[in-house]
Amino acid sequence: MSSGPTRASSILHCTQCGSPAEPDTRFCEDCGTAISAPVPRPPSPPKPHAGFRGKPASDETAELEALVALHPDDETYQKLLAVQLHDHALKDWWKDPKTGNLLCTTVEQIQHARKQLDRAAALRFNDPALRAGLEKLRRTVESQEARKYTGNWFQIVLLGIFYIFPGWIWWYVNRRPEFMLNRDYMKYVKTGKEPGALAKMGGSAEKVSNFFDSATGGWGFVFAFIFMFICSPIMMLLAYKENYIDVKKEYESS
């Protein structure tokens, strides 16, 4: 039995995802959120003008922008604004109730995060740790566009045996961007329904899988697999439209 304070008493927790962090940690290792303000706010700063850049004076980002404009040579305000923009980059990301992680689900969230990080990177300050935190968060944002295949690999092998090239095409057209996979996952978490291997591909494949599940019960995945195999050319065209053409339109409309 030991006396004195324990190590656990000094552990901090991320305000975004709840992950534990050491007291001297600047950014959360899981989501990149700043653990604590790395630069103290100077005492009695001059008050910014109301309505700076069309924003209310109470808005913290607008206040810091006003202070940066009033004191362009003061690095302190540049750092504070960079931290504020860093944290604001994850605005409206969905918080997974199971893990507490923040997940991107829309193109708008990706573009908003990029804009905030670009603004932060353009600020003038000499803080390697803060620069590294901004770059780490940028990599997280960029990863939301990476495509993954979440379907059944047996279908790829089977198509490859019979048709050679369609196996590769099936894999290619059914790769969904990470933010769309997060969107699918969010839907299933909210409904409480666990998707099968075919339903995890989303889009038309998900609809076919859910239809046969509801119509035939526990053997629905077998009928869905057979249907998708027989109608694979049509399913490929639909998957390409949903995972590539529709994604492009989403970017263009945002």
Indicate whether 111 and 173 sit together in one domain: no
State yes or no: pLDDT of 175 exceeds 50: yes
Indicate whether 213 and 179 sit together in one domain: yes
Instruction: Record the tokens describing residue 241, joined without a space.
Output: 């439209």
Indicate whether 135 and 18 sit together in one domain: yes
Q: What digits encode the pLDDT tens for the residues 111-156?
A: 999 999 999 999 999 999 999 999 999 999 999 999 999 887 887 7
The answer to whether position 177 is within a domain reads yes
Reduce the DSSP state of residue 16 to 3 states and report it: coil
Indicate whether 170 and 106 sit together in one domain: no
The 8-class DSSP code of residue 27 comes to B
Instruction: Record the tokens describing residue 73, joined without a space.
Output: 């040579």
CA–CA gap between residue 185 and residue 183 (Å, rounded):
5
Residue of 182, 217, 223, 230 whose CA lies nearest to 202:
182
The whole-number pLDDT of residue 154 equals 80
Structural domain for 162, as ranges = 147-253
State yes or no: pLDDT of 181 exceeds 60: yes
Region 92-115 average pLDDT: 94
Distance between start and end Cα atoms, the chain: 60
Under the banding of pLDDT at 50, 70 and 90, the label for residue 198 is: confident
Q: How many domains does the chain have?
A: 2
Place of tokens 């990706």: 110
The answer to whether position 171 is within a domain reads yes
Indicate whether 103 and 22 sit together in one domain: yes
Indicate whether 44 and 87 sit together in one domain: yes
Indicate whether 161 and 138 sit together in one domain: no
- What percentage of the chain carries pLDDT values higher than 70? 75
pTM of the model: 0.69
CA–CA gap between residue 83 and residue 55 (Å, rounded):
19
State which of 143, 177, 211 marks the end of a domain.
Answer: 143
Q: Residue 152 class from Cβ within 10 Å (0-12 exposed, 13-18 middle, 19+ buried)? A: buried
Instruction: Record the tokens describing residue 228, joined without a space.
Output: 């998708």
- What percentage of the chain carries pLDDT values higher than 90? 42
C-alpha R_g of the chain:
24
